[in-house]
Amino acid sequence: MTKSIIVTGAGHGIGAEIARQAAAAGYRVGALDINGEAVEQIAQSLPDAVPLVASSTDSSAVEAALDAFGTPDALVNNAGIVRFTPLVDHSEDDWRAVVDVNLTGPFVCGRAVARRMIAEGRQGSIVNIASINGIAPGPNSGAYSPTKAAVIQLTRQMAIEWGAAGIRVNSVAPGIIDDGMSAPVLADPEVRATRSARTPSRRLGTADDIAKAVMWLCSEDAEYVNGHNLVVDGGVVSTVLAGMPRPASIDGIDE
C-alpha cells in the first residue's frame, strides 16, 4: 500500500527537497504552500504529487487541503519565516507574523492531522522543523529563536499526548544550511567562508542533509523514536567553548 505525506512550505528550499525525497521513497506527496505557482511547479515535477495551496496557519484552509488529499501517513511541518531585527526594534506585527507561521502553523496542521489519524485508528509520524536557533539563540533574529525553541517543546508535548494513539512526533533542528532562508545570508562570500570554517565538519549543510534526517524519522527504522529533537548541524551547537581558549602553559589543575 502506498504511503502518503504532506509537506508544508514545499514550494522551495528544504521543503521542496523533502517533497522530492519523499516521492523518490515511494510516498504520494501533498505539497502544501501559500505560494500557488511554486507549489504547482514542485507537484508537476514529482510523480503522483498533489499541489495544496493553503496557509499552514489557516485551519479552514488546512482542513480543505486534507479533505482533498486524505489523511496522510506522515506530516512534515516545514513552513517558516524570519524577520531580522534587534528585539528593541522588532515590531509587534513582525513578531506576530513569525509566531503565527513558525509556531501556530505546526500546531494547526499537527492538530488537524492528529485528529484524523486518531479518528481513523491510523498510526503515523509528524516531523516539525525546528532550528539550532531554538537551542542557541541568534542575535537580532527577533521572534525566530523563541519560536523555534517553542517548536521543540511543542514536539515533546505532541509526542506525550499522541504517542498512545501510535503517532510519533519528532523535530529536526537544522544548522547552517546552504538553501532556503539562509541563501541570502550565505550569498555574502565572507560570511559563507566564515560559517563554513567555524563548522566542525568544515562545510555548510544542505537541504539533502535535512531531508534525509526527516525521511529517517518518518520511516519504520525510527519506529521507537518519539519526542526527540534531532540536531543536524555538522557540530555547530557543540562549539560553545571552542572560542574560549585557556593558556597553553596550563596542563592540569588540582583543587
Would you please indicate which residues are annotated as catalytic (active-site) residues? 144
How far, in Å, CA of 126 to CA of 113, rounded?
9
Give the chain's largest Cα–Cα span. 68
Among residues 165, 163, 148, 162, which one has the least CA distance to residue 237? 148
Measured between alpha carbons, how far apart are the two ends of the chain, in Å? 64
User: Residue 4: beta bridge partners?
Assistant: 28
244 within 8 A of 100, measured Cβ to Cβ = no
Backbone angles phi, psi at 138, to 5 degrees: -90, 135
Backbone angles phi, psi at 90, to 5 degrees: -75, 125
